Amino acid sequence: MGTRMEVAQLESRMNTKDYGKLQRLFLDSSGVSRSLSRVEFIDLAWSTVGRGSKEEYGLLFDSVVVAQEHRGLLLDIDAVKEEGRVDWGGLCSFLLLELSDKVKNTRPLRAPCWKSPHTLTCPHRDPVQKVLYLQSSGQYLTVSRGGTVGLRDGEDMSLMSTHRLQNCTVAPKDLWVTDMVLLQNVHKMAVSFTSKEVCFYDLLLLTKQDFSCQYKLQGLKFTPWCLDYWVDPSQPDHAVLTIGDTGGQVSALYFTSAQISLFERLSLRTDSDSADIILWDDLVKGKHHFCYTVTHQAHAPAWVRKVRYLGSLEAFVSCCTAPQSSMVIGWREKESRSIRVTSFFTERGVWDMDHHCGLSLIATAGVDHQVLLWNPYVTSEPVCVLSGHTSPVTAVHFMQAKHRLLSYSKDKVLCLWDVSSQLCIHRLAGVFPTTQEDTHTLLYLHEERQHLLLSFNSLLVLLETVKEEKKISSHEHPVTCVLYNSLFRQVISSDSASSVICWQADTGQRVKQFHRCHGNAEISTIALDGTQTRLFTAGADGEVKVWDFNGRCLHRMNAGLGRAVDISQVLLLKRSILVMGWDRMLTVFRLHSFSQSFVEPSEWKGGVQHRGDVLCAAFQPPQTLVTGSYDGEIIMWNSSTEKALKRLRPHAEHEDNRRKQDNCIAITRLFFIPGRTSATATTGGADLVSCGGSGVVQLWNTQYGCLLGQFTAHNKNLGSIVMTVSPCGKYLITADKEGTIKTWDMKVSFRNGPALYRIC
C-alpha cells in the first residue's frame, strides 16, 4: 500500500471542481447516496476526475479503508482491498483527518520525558480530596477527607506545615471533606462537608494556629459533592461559586461585590466557631443583595461528579455517571436569572471533565473507557473519540498552552494526547503505587512548573518532566529492534526496558512513547500487520502483544505457555501468525482465535522437523514458507498444508567449508529476494538469502534445494550477524555487533558461487 505522501500528492493536484466530481460519483441515478468498491472507485474516479493514475486512486482507496478499520486484527491487506467499500463521508473524513498530517507535521509532536515518580511525605491518613496552588505564595495546598490541610513548598514539594479544619457542626471523627476551592480574589477558601454545608476560611490565617471558619453556608437539601470558583478577570468583584450535590442538583452563587463582602450580615447569628451562619433559603429568597442563586436538577437523581463555570460561555458545565445526563451545560440567559439546559449522552456516564478555552472543547472521562471531545454547542455527537484506555477513565486535564490532554484510568494508566492529531503520544503504566482496586485518585497539573501530582488514597505522587533539550535523545536502554511504518511514515523502535518509541522519519522527532509494554521484560522483536495499523511486540516474558497506535493492548498471545522464553521472530501470514525462537517446532496462532483478548496457540500440523531451535522464517506468496534453525538447517514448507517439502542442503564443497567453521552456524535471518520469482529459481538463480553465525551470507535456490554460494560479510569472531534486503531486491544490508553496517550490490545473479558477488 502507498504512503500518505503519495496519496497527498494526488490530493494536492485536485481543485474544488474535482472534489465536486468525486462527490457525484457517490450518488446513484436517483440521487441516493451509495458506496463504491475498489474497482468501481478506481474506474469512475480515473475516467471522471483524472488528475492522477489508476494506481494513485487505488492507493487513496486503500488508505481510506484502512483508516476506517479501527477494530479487529488485519493480517492480509489484500483482503482489505477486495472486501472494503468507501462512501463519500468516509472519503471526506480521511481527507480532513488523515491528510491534515501535512500541516500537523510542520510542528513536530514531542512526547515528554518523565522523571521517576516520587512519593511525597504526606500528613494524611485518609484520602486526599484536593490539591491547589496558591499563586500569591507559590505553595501547594492539600486537604484530606478527615479535614487535615497540608502546606507544601512550591519548589522542592517539602511539607511546611499542617492544620486541622475547625467545624463544630460535627464531631472530629465524623468530619468528612468532599471538596475545596480557592477564592483567590478575596483570599479565602471554601470547603464542602458531608454535613450539608460549605464553610469559608480566611487564607491569611492559614499560618496561624487560629485557622477558624468565617462563614457557614447551611440548609442545603443535599450533600455538596464538588465545587468550582470563577472570577471575572476584568471585574474582580464579580465571581461565581458553583456547587454540585448528591441529589443531582447544580447551584451557582453569583457574587456582585465579592471584594467588599461575600454575604451580608442579616443577623448576629453565629455558632461556637464564631462563624456567621448563611442560610440557603435566604439566598434563594434574595435576602442577600450582593449574592443570588440559579439552579437546575438535570442530573437527578445521580450524583454530580464535577462542576465548572465557563466564563467565556457564560455557562456552567457538570457531569455525572448517568448516561442520559452524562454532561449538562446550564446556559445563563442574557439579562435574566433563568437558565437553559442542554444534556449530552454517553453510553455509561462520565467521571470527570475539563474545558480548553482556546479550542472551545470539553473533554469527558468516560466510564466506557473512552475520552470524548465535545463542541459545547453540539449535543448530538462528540467532535472525536480518543480510544486507548482499557478501563474506566477517571480523570482528564487539558494542558492549555500545548493543546494537549492528560487522561488517567482505573488500571493506573496515564495517557497524553495531542488534541489536533487525536493521537496518544505518550502512555505511562506500571510505575504507580500498588493500591486497592477502589482507590480514590485525583490529578493536578501545574503547567508552568511542569509538576503533575496524583493522589492514591492518602499517598501523593509527584511526576516531573525532564527539561526539553534541543537535541532529541533516543532510548535510555539498549535498542532491541527497529522497523519502518510507511503508512504513518514513522520509525518504530523498542528497547530492553520494554519501551516502544515512534519517531517521525522526516524530522527525527519523537511523537509517542509506550512504557513497560511487557512490565520489566525485554522486548526481543517487533512486527507490523499487513495494514500497518497494528504493532506486535514479543517480550522475554513469553507473550506477544498486539497494540494499536494509541497504546492500547488489543490481544495477548500466550506463546510461551506461561513460561519466559526467547522469541526471535514474529511472522504474519494471511490467516495465521508464527512465533519462534525457543523450540524446534513453530508456534502458530490462527486468525479465528483472536475473538478473545487472551489468545492460546494452535497445533502446527507439520510437527517437529528441525533438529535445533527454529530462529527465523520467511514467506513467499502464495504458500512457500522457509524456516531456519540454530544448527544451520533450512526447511521449506507449504504454508497452507503446513507440511515440510524439502530440506535445503549445500553442495559437497560448501558442506566441507561448513564443517571447518569453528563458530556457530545458526541461521538468524532469512529473506526471499524481491523480484526473484520461481522462474528465477527454475533457471538456477538464487531466490533466497540467509545469514547467521560466523558472519557468513549464503545464497540459495529453493527450486532445487541447494546452496549456490556464500561469502564472509563480517569478521567471523564477532558471532552472528543480521541483515535485510531492499524492496527492489538490488541491495543487501548486513550488520554486526560492533555496529558496522555494509551494503552489498545484488544485481549479479549468484549462480556459480562467491566469485560472482561484488561490494558497493
Residue 668 lies in a domain: yes
Residue 252 lies in a domain: no
Contact indicator for 110, 509 with CB cutoff of 8 Å: yes
309-332 tens-digit pLDDT: 999 889 999 999 999 999 999 998
Q: How many folded domains does the chain comprise?
A: 3
pTM reported for the whole predicted model: 0.60
Residue 262 lies in a domain: no
Residue 479 belongs to domain spanning:
472-577
Rounded distance between C-alpha atoms, residue 52 and residue 100, angstroms = 20
What single-letter DSSP state applies at residue 304?
P
Residue 177 lies in a domain: no
pLDDT-derived band at 272 (thresholds 50, 70, 90) equals: low
Quote the strand ranges of 419-458, DSSP E.
Answer: 423-429, 441-446, 451-456
Q: Are residues 557 and 652 in the same domain?
A: no
203-262 tens-digit pLDDT: 887 766 666 788 999 999 999 999 999 999 999 999 999 999 999 999 999 999 998 888
Q: DSSP readout, 649-672?
A: B--HHHHHHHHH--S---EEEEEE
In the chain, pLDDT over 70 holds for what percent of residues?
86
Q: CA angle, 572 as apex, 566 and 578 as ends, to 5°?
A: 45
Q: Which of 77, 104, 131 is the last residue of a domain?
A: 104
pLDDT at 662: 41
pLDDT-derived band at 267 (thresholds 50, 70, 90) equals: low
Per-residue pLDDT at 96 exceeds 70: no
Q: Are residues 609 and 506 in the same domain?
A: no
What single-letter DSSP state applies at residue 114?
B
Rounded distance between C-alpha atoms, residue 377 and residue 382, angstroms = 10
Residue 185 lies in a domain: no
Nearest Cα residue to 295 out of 245, 256, 367, 352: 245
Ramachandran area for residue 305 (φ above 0: left; ψ -120 to 50: alpha; else beta): alpha
Rounded distance between C-alpha atoms, residue 504 and residue 422, angstroms = 16
Residue 295 lies in a domain: no
CATH of the domain at 657: 2.130.10.10
CB-based contacts of 654, cutoff 8 Å, min separation 6 = 707, 710
pLDDT at 2: 42
* CB-side neighbour CA atoms (13 Å) of 253: 29
Q: Which of 104, 119, 138 is the last residue of a domain?
A: 104
